[in-house]
């Protein structure tokens, strides 16, 4: 997770640098390209994390089954 946080910090730094009016166009383009690469990498990291969460959510835990609480929907008239 630390790697993700480091990527996020770098992306935030790039974003701040790009907003500076004195930044040359060539440098801004390099920063933008690096930012896009970071964002894509972070998106892959998030997809992996979501996959792990899905696996954990689908695994049954040895706890007694509880029926779903349906009374939340009983007052809704359709």
Tell me the per-residue pLDDT of 13-60, one tens digit each, with 9 for 90 and over.
Answer: 999 999 999 999 999 999 999 999 999 999 999 999 999 898 888 886
In this prediction the pTM is 0.65
- 42 CB-near residues (< 8 Å, 6+ apart): 4, 7, 8, 11
Confidence label for 2 from pLDDT (cuts 50, 70 and 90): confident
Characterize 18-37 residue by residue with b for buried, 16 or more Cβ atoms within 10 angstroms of its Cβ, and e for exposed: eeeeeeeeeeeeebeeebee
- pLDDT value of position 18: 95
- pLDDT value of position 10: 96
- pLDDT value of position 61: 58
End-to-end CA distance of the chain: 45
């Amino acid at each position: 997770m630390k790697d993700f946080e480091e990527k996020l910090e770098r992306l935030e730094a790039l974003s701040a640098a790009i907003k500076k009016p004195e930044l040359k166009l060539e440098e801004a383009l390099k920063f933008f390209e690096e930012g896009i690469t970071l964002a894509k990498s972070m998106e892959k990291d998030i997809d992996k994390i979501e996959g792990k969460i899905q696996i954990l959510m689908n695994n049954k835990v040895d706890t007694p089954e509880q029926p779903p609480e349906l009374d939340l929907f009983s007052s809704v008239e359709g």
